[in-house]
Amino acid sequence: MSTEGARLFARYAYPPNALGYCGPEDASALLRTEVAGGIERRAREFEGAWCYLEFLAESAGIADPLDEKVVEAYWIGNDLLERASPAALLDRMRDRFRTQAGGTWRDAGDGALAHHSFQVFDVYPWAGLLRTTGNPTALDVLDRCRIRTGVVRDVDGERVVVESAPLLWDGASIVTGTPHPESVRWSTGGRALIDRPSPGDVVALHWDWVCDVVTEEQAARIRFLEARRRHAHTGAGLP
């Protein structure tokens, strides 16, 4: 098992786990990255993410679903996504998510993608709910659950101020608004999954947490893949 891959998984999986939205109890175990085997056991209990990781690994001929490149493909995106058949992914999902109501993934066709943006905008029901009702809670969940990017403007203890573009609903499309500052955590109780960020760093965010410092290329990939899913739902233009 890849230790670096397990740590990368923990960086992105910890925020929703800490909030009780997915994964097993005791999210603090994901902060103990020195115990990589423990992260692997916990990762298997993330029903959504683990399905994609297994599928990506198999599609690429990689034995370890927590290989660093596999984990990066799911949360951020890389060339492994292009090796994975949309039809094969949907076949896998029909078995794994057969009891899950809502979502539009069954009709995704060639748009099916083993990436977190697909889970957020197609498997979860929130995008469809927003489109049909304009429910503001749906927009808020989509905004926080997606992996979004931002730029660090200030660091204060275990929190940072990040400038990030929120999602907006214009009545017909999900679009991104003007970047604005928000306060998020990069550490809690003295434990962190990354080094202390610095002003000017480009970061990836999940819920109220800084997951990682990313390259401009990785940030662009995150934004592009998300925009593609938004476009598929509402006609929002690609960047």
**Separation CA 235–CA 208 (nearest Å):** 28
Confidence band for 234, pLDDT divided at 50, 70 and 90: low
Which domain covers residue 36, as residue numbers? 3-97
DSSP label at residue 114? S
Of 97, 112, 127, at which residue does a domain stop? 97
Does the residue 72 lie in any domain?
Answer: yes
Q: What is the CATH number of the domain that holds 177?
A: 2.30.30.140
Q: Exposed, middle or buried by CB within 10 Å (0-12, 13-18, 19+), for 159?
A: middle
**Residue 55 belongs to a domain:** yes
224 and 156, same structural domain?
yes
Per residue in 93-130, pLDDT tens?
998 887 777 788 999 999 999 999 999 999 999 998 99
Residue where the block lists tokens 């819920």: 207
211 and 154 together in one domain: yes
Q: Distance between CA atoms of 207 and 215, rounded to whole angstroms?
A: 20
Same domain for 86 and 13?
Answer: yes
List Cα–Cα distances, 224 to 101, 115, 117, in angstroms. Answer: 27, 12, 10
Last residue of a domain, one of 64, 97, 130: 97
Place of tokens 């925020």: 15
Band (pLDDT 50/70/90 cuts) for residue 38 is confident
* Contact assessment for residue 204 and residue 148, using Cβ atoms and an 8 Å cutoff: yes
User: What percentage of the chain carries pLDDT values higher than 90?
Assistant: 81
Number of domains in the chain: 2
Token pair belonging to 209: 């947490």
For residues 92 and 169, state if they share a domain: no
Say whether both 8 and 93 belong to one domain.
yes
The pLDDT tens digits for 129-148 are 999 999 999 999 999 999 99
38-60: average pLDDT: 93
The pLDDT, as a whole number, for residue 175 is: 94
Specify whether 7 is located in the same domain as 83: yes
pLDDT digits (tens, 9 = 90+) for 2-20: 889 999 999 999 999 999 9
